[in-house]
Amino acid sequence: MDKTLFANMIVDSCESTNDIARELARCGCPHGTWIAARTQTVGRGRYGRRWVSGPGNLFLSVIVDCGAEPAREGLPLLAARAVAGAISVFVPGAALKIKPPNDIYLDDAKLAGILCETAPSMGTCAVVGVGVNCMTAPDGLDVKTACLGVMPEMVLGSVKFGIICMRY
């Protein structure tokens, strides 16, 4: 895969933005490279759990260079803090809570999830996948869900910036 063709893009649909970002990391794309999708057909969470990718929501993966192995251990919580900070721009004063290590709740309802993945073939890089319920909150799950009520394009820039600027 030619990394110059794929760095920083929004696709209409894909199985998983993390899968694409992982391949980009293997090809040598640098820290901060990102991929977002309007729809995601096979989203996943930790332990291979299904992530419901509802219409009008944000599905984003960012390549993050962790440097050393110990930095990777705290990555999910650090990413959750960065994403919660970015989301707070859209819901000032709201009761955002991080459920360690990787979920963000608005009051008592799940608003966003983080999935961090690494592989030996990615060197010191990790992929930080983010799903934010922007316009729809999935029904029929084992947890209550919430949404922001704003277009995903509005949230994209803020979340990207938050993740890319994370400090280790």
What domains can you pick out in the chain, each with its CATH number?
3-164 (3.30.930.10)
Least confident range from 24-28, 115-119, 147-151: namely 147-151
pTM: 0.86
What are the pLDDT digits (tens) for 38-66?
989 987 776 677 777 778 889 999 999 88
Give SS3 for 44.
strand
d(CA 32, CA 135): 25
* Residue 74: per-residue pLDDT: 85
**Confidence band (pLDDT; 50, 70, 90) for 168?**
very low
On whether the CB atoms of residues 58 and 35 are closer than 8 A, the answer is no
Locate 77 and state its tokens. 């919580």
Q: For 142-148, what is the mean pLDDT?
A: 88
d(CA 5, CA 18): 17
At residue 95, does pLDDT exceed 80? Answer: yes
* Residue 129: per-residue pLDDT: 95
On whether the CB atoms of residues 74 and 47 are closer than 8 A, the answer is no
At residue 131, does pLDDT exceed 90? Answer: yes
What stretch of H or E contains 50? Answer: none
What are the pLDDT digits (tens) for 23-32?
999 999 988 9
d(CA 114, CA 3): 24
At residue 149, does pLDDT exceed 60? Answer: yes
DSSP-assigned letter for residue 30: P
**Confidence band (pLDDT; 50, 70, 90) for 5?**
very low
